[in-house]
Amino acid sequence: MGEEKGELAKVSALRDIKRSLPDIPIDYPIIIPHGMSIDNDGVAIGDMSDDAEPDYFSSEPFVISKKILDLEEATEKWEVTYRHEGKWRKLVQPRLTFADPRKLLTLADYSFPVDGINLRNVLGALRIMAISSHAPLSYCFSSCGWKFCEGKTYFVWGKKVIGAVNGEVQFLTQDPGTEQVIRSYRMAGTLENWMSVVEKIFNEAPKAMMAIYHSLAPPLMKICGASNFCVDLAGSSSVGKTTFSRIAASVWGAVYGDNELLKSWNSTRVFGERLPAISNDMPIFLEETQLAKEEDQSKYLYMIVNGVGKGRGNLAGIREVKTWNTCLFSTGEIPLSQSTALEGVRARTVPYWGSPFGESPVPDLVKAIESGLRENHGIVGQQVASHLLSGAGGWSDLKSRYEAKLSTLTKQLRGNIESRVASYMALTWLAADIFHEHYAGFFPSDFKPDEIIFPAFEEIMGNFKDVSLSDRALHATKQWVIANKPSFAWEGSESEFLDNKHTKEYYGMWRNDGNQVYIYTHKLKAFLRAEGMAYESVIREWKRCGVTETSPDRSTMVIRVNKSVMRVVALNWSDLLEK
């Protein structure tokens, strides 16, 4: 038996691909199957006796160099190593791609040596290699975040699998879009330099420290059984919204360039679903809500905070639905809670209005922060994840601490919305504690995160006055109409008012009995937008509440003004006076 094993080892050594291709970038034995030749002349199958001339169907060598099992999707991928124009390449694709002739032919786009003429031979060679080349089996994950496998726990941060020993498992994707997102999770600079930026924030704009605390909340969600939420940054341009997001993003990765973590709201639904699934247990960042339709904002926000993707089917059955834990950082001119009439959206957001750097942001401070983050990022997130992975303090203890903080924040709260927001802030509070415990040497010894968390919580609760979008808009519109009374004509006297030199522009018209005011839609739309409210949502709510008179199947009506047809919003003045 021992002699047979020894003989087999000799044969294997003789047929090791390194003997015929010494420069192939593979550092472990790959056996060339019997009846096959793989060398500098290419690949051939057939009679390999000494007096036979190999019939090469491929002019470039290739081999299955690795088989990879995706531990999340329970699917197999193959890595092929091949040469093209003197350079070695590696390509990873699902096993089905190498088994289906039509899919295999598409690999010609990657310069893999397959075409319509040698397709059948390449398929046959791959089949033989899969059985006889003894390509090693490795394991991979295809998304980030916490992973639990065979009694072991890992945290995937970009391409780094924290907790993996000697490359026992790796991150792997063959999708270019996913690869682009993953490249955002990279490290630059040093912890000390990043902390010097944080020191400026801590001393000069402590409220902006909330960006770091919120950013570290997602990896705690699974541990504490907490829910996803959205940090909503709203306000006019140049108040520091994007800088706040960049502070948060710098915890995990790049904040500038083509592969930065900050993405746009102007994206497809599929991208919006793939992003949190890939970035599981870490925050995601979307800029400028005004680039997306209001309906899309509501649907996407619900999907994000519910942590479940869209169900889909295929010919074989139902695909597995993607799930995730995350915190969405969103910026825009209008708060998400006011860009939709859906109260459920308000219950899933932590709103910040205006500048996180004070009423008058200091340009030099913002510039210094941006400059420092450009060069130093992607350090703290992975370190905190490693700290949590080590079990420091125990996960059960972390959950108890979260529940205690939640109890503290909810003692004086009554409404369901406020209680939900308190749960998000309790998790953020725990993240702040962990951050300062782990990096205590960078902060004053007597500092407690409560000093920042409590004022932020009070401000956020102040933004959650339990007033409906309809009432808020009616109250604001009443004040606007009163302040601009000369700009509203009386019904039937349009010509007289239009000739009034003291009024440059009219906003609408009063009905003769004074019970209704007609407001030109374009004027009302501009006013509501300036007030941070979405016109379409407001009009829809007013119609539902019965405070407007409308044309059939419309939320507005048409009147004649000086022989011209104008579309207006008709409001009952008595309803306005009550607001």
pLDDT at residue 501 is higher than 60? no
Residue 131's SS3 state is helix
How many angstroms separate the CA atoms of 286 and 298, rounded? 14
Cα end-to-end distance, the chain, whole Å: 95
pLDDT band at 433 (very low <50, low <70, confident <90, very high): very high
Q: How many residues does the chain have?
A: 579
How many angstroms separate the CA atoms of 43 and 340, rounded? 62
Q: What is the pLDDT of residue 571?
A: 85
Nearest CA-CA partner of 115 in 41, 65, 57: 57
Mean pLDDT of 4-19: 59
How many angstroms separate the CA atoms of 155 and 280, rounded? 10
Q: Give the residues across from 568 on adjacent strands.
A: 520, 557
pLDDT at residue 316 is higher than 70? no
- Per-residue model confidence as pLDDT tens digits over 43-67: 998 766 666 678 899 999 999 999 9
Q: What is the pLDDT of residue 340?
A: 58
Cα 427 vs. chain centroid, distance in angstroms?
19
Task: Render 493-551 in DSSP notation, one character per residue.
Answer: -HHHHHT-TT-S---EEE-TTSSEEEEEHHHHHHHHHHTT--HHHHHHHHHHHT-EE--
pTM of the model: 0.76
Nearest CA-CA partner of 36 in 99, 131, 128, 112: 128
Nearest CA-CA partner of 350 in 471, 234, 468: 234
Q: What is the pLDDT of residue 8?
A: 40
pLDDT band at 250 (very low <50, low <70, confident <90, very high): very high
pLDDT band at 244 (very low <50, low <70, confident <90, very high): very high
pLDDT band at 9 (very low <50, low <70, confident <90, very high): very low
Mean pLDDT of 91-113: 95
How many angstroms separate the CA atoms of 511 and 490, rounded? 6
How many angstroms separate the CA atoms of 361 and 116, rounded? 63
Q: Is residue 426 within 8 Å of residue 409, measured between CB atoms?
A: yes
Q: How many CB atoms lie within 10 A of CB 180?
A: 11
How many angstroms separate the CA atoms of 556 and 568, rounded? 6
How many angstroms separate the CA atoms of 239 and 226, rounded? 31
**CA dihedral angle for residue 65, residue 70, residue 73, residue 75, rounded to 10 degrees:** 30
Sheet holding 160-162, edge to edge: 145-149, 152-157, 160-162
- Per-residue model confidence as pLDDT tens digits over 18-29: 999 999 999 998
**Secondary-structure percent of the chain, ordered helix, strand, coil, rounded to 5:** 45, 20, 35
- Residues of the chain above pLDDT 90, percent: 47
pLDDT band at 312 (very low <50, low <70, confident <90, very high): low
- Per-residue model confidence as pLDDT tens digits over 452-500: 999 999 888 877 654 566 777 887 888 888 888 888 887 655 444 444 4
pLDDT at residue 34 is higher than 50? yes
Q: What is the pLDDT of residue 124?
A: 95
Cα 503 vs. chain centroid, distance in angstroms?
49
Q: What is the pLDDT of residue 564?
A: 74
Question: Position of tokens 């916490």?
Answer: 146
Residue 70's SS3 state is strand
Q: What is the pLDDT of residue 359?
A: 67
Q: In the 8-state DSSP scheme, what is residue 257?
A: S
How many angstroms separate the CA atoms of 215 and 514, rounded? 53
How many angstroms separate the CA atoms of 62 and 20, rounded? 12
pLDDT band at 119 (very low <50, low <70, confident <90, very high): very high
pLDDT band at 174 (very low <50, low <70, confident <90, very high): low
Q: What is the pLDDT of residue 311?
A: 57
How many angstroms separate the CA atoms of 287 and 554, rounded? 32
Mean pLDDT rounded to a whole number for the chain: 84
- Per-residue model confidence as pLDDT tens digits over 335-388: 776 665 556 667 788 988 878 887 666 788 889 999 999 999 999 999 999 999
Residue 31's SS3 state is strand
pLDDT at residue 258 is higher than 70? yes
Both tokens of residue 259?
Answer: 């592969």
pLDDT band at 517 (very low <50, low <70, confident <90, very high): confident
Mean pLDDT of 34-42: 92
Q: Give the residues across from 89 on adjacent strands.
A: 82
Looking only at the bridges linking them, the beta strands covering 42-45 and 75-84 are unpaired
- Per-residue model confidence as pLDDT tens digits over 127-166: 999 998 788 899 999 899 999 988 899 999 999 999 988 7
- Per-residue model confidence as pLDDT tens digits over 519-551: 888 888 888 877 767 787 788 778 877 778 777
Cα 368 vs. chain centroid, distance in angstroms?
26
pLDDT at residue 126 is higher than 90? yes
- Residues of the chain above pLDDT 70, percent: 84
Q: Is residue 389 within 8 Å of residue 398, measured between CB atoms?
A: no
Nearest CA-CA partner of 287 in 308, 256, 309: 256
pLDDT band at 7 (very low <50, low <70, confident <90, very high): very low
Q: Is residue 350 within 8 Å of residue 214, measured between CB atoms?
A: yes
Question: Position of tokens 């032919």?
Answer: 105
pLDDT at residue 72 is higher than 60? yes
Both tokens of residue 212?
Answer: 């770091």
Residues 6+ apart with CB under 8 A from 400: none
